[in-house]
Amino acid sequence: MAFSPDFKFDVDFKNFDSKKIKRIVIIAAIAVLLLILVSTCWFTVNDKQQAVITTFGKVTGTADAGIHFKLPFGIQKVDLVDINIYQKIELGYRTDGSDAGNYMTIENESKMISGDFNIVNVDFFIEYKISNAAKYLYASQDAGMILKNLAQSQIRNVIGSKYVDDILTTGKSQIQAEVKELITEELTKYDIGIVLTDIKIQDAEPPTEQVKAAFKNVETAKQVGETAKNDAEAYKNAQIPNAEAKADQLLQNAEFLKLDRINQAKAQVAMFNAMYEEYTSNEEITKARMYFEAIEAVLPGVKLIIDTGSDTQKLLPLDTFLATTAGETANGGTVTE
């Protein structure tokens, strides 16, 4: 529907009832007030937040996740605080949040002096959570900045007590533990509603390329030495069982030889005792037997000629003679024709 440029509204306001106008205004005002009342009487808290409720500026309570009601018209106010998420502080560097992982160095935060008066650049990553929403909001002006300044102070104290070799190589874990302990103690004293969850050395390096290369060479040499040490330990562990087995075998052989010598000695003693008993009972026969056995040992293969005192003589092998009866030998008689 189009209107002509010359069209004019001609309304006769005199015909409107003033009472009706007042009624409409009152109804509209009541509707606005009700809308404001409804909109200011409730609030929503998600599962990662906690609400801090203040009444006339004073903290009167907190609320967890869900829908809650409060007094309208600014009598009660609500501040939502993220308490169930981890927040971070970057010391010595800043990331841009992109997938490429780009970052820039902040030298006035990372440059420090070690205990042996060397300059090092150390970057730290700090992670914390809000433990008390009300204290986080009202116990300090900026709890996150307080934590950052406190961390810088304690980090410099610890770095200033360490040698540069430890900072750049093997002492990082100890440094992290000491810094975390010191910061936790100070946060307990300050009681600003935050708790430190983790702190890590993101990077540690000397300020110049020449020093970096030297420390890399040192680290490489340490790794090579550690590898050689591990190889030697593995070789030792492999050789010990073999050496123990050989030692056990030698001990067993020695024990066997010991028992064998003992048995031989006992056998010789028994033989000597038997010979002695035989000697005591038959001295002449035993002497003759020992004599012929001695000849056999000294002159193996000797032929024995026995003279019977007659014209007849006989050549006998010694072993044949020994096989004869002892009585015939002792009497000097002829053994065989």
**Secondary structure (3-state) at 81:** strand
Q: What is the pLDDT of residue 314?
A: 47
Q: What is the pLDDT of residue 222?
A: 80
Q: What is the pLDDT of residues 244-295, one digit of tens each?
A: 888 888 999 999 999 999 999 998 888 888 878 877 888 777 777 777 778 7
Q: Using 50, 70 and 90 to split pLDDT, how confident is the model at 164? A: confident
36-50, 74-88, 154-168, 223-237: range with lowest mean pLDDT: 36-50
Radius of gyration for the alpha carbons in the chain, expressed in angstroms and rounded = 56
Q: What is the pLDDT of residue 27?
A: 84
Distance, in Å, from the CA atom of 141 to the CA atom of 190, rounded to the nearest integer, reads 13
Q: What is the mean pLDDT of residues 45-71?
A: 90
List b or e across 7-29, with b for residues whose CB sees 16 or more CB atoms inside 10 angstroms.
eeeeeeeeeeeeeeeeeeeeeee
Q: What is the pTM (predicted TM-score) of this model?
A: 0.55
Nearest to 132 by CA among 140, 123, 124: 140
Task: Report the chain's mean pLDDT, rounded to a whole number.
Answer: 81
Whether residue 269 contacts residue 276, with contact meaning beta carbons closer than 8 Å, is answered with no
Q: Work out the percent of the chain whose per-residue pLDDT is above 90.
A: 32
Distance, in Å, from the CA atom of 206 to the CA atom of 216, rounded to the nearest integer, reads 10
Q: What is the mean pLDDT of residues 157-169?
A: 89
Q: Using 50, 70 and 90 to split pLDDT, how confident is the model at 100? A: low
Structure letter (DSSP) for residue 47: T
Residue that wins the pLDDT comparison between 327 and 68: 68
Q: Using 50, 70 and 90 to split pLDDT, how confident is the model at 9? A: very low
Nearest to 329 by CA among 287, 275, 273, 268: 287
Distance, in Å, from the CA atom of 138 to the CA atom of 143, rounded to the nearest integer, reads 9
Q: What is the pLDDT of residue 182?
A: 95
Q: Which two tokens stand for residue 63?
A: 């609320």
CA angle 95, 100, 103 (to 5 degrees): 25
Q: What is the mean pLDDT of residues 166-194?
A: 92
User: In this model, does residue 83 exceed pLDDT 70?
Assistant: yes
Distance, in Å, from the CA atom of 160 to the CA atom of 336, rounded to the nearest integer, reads 115
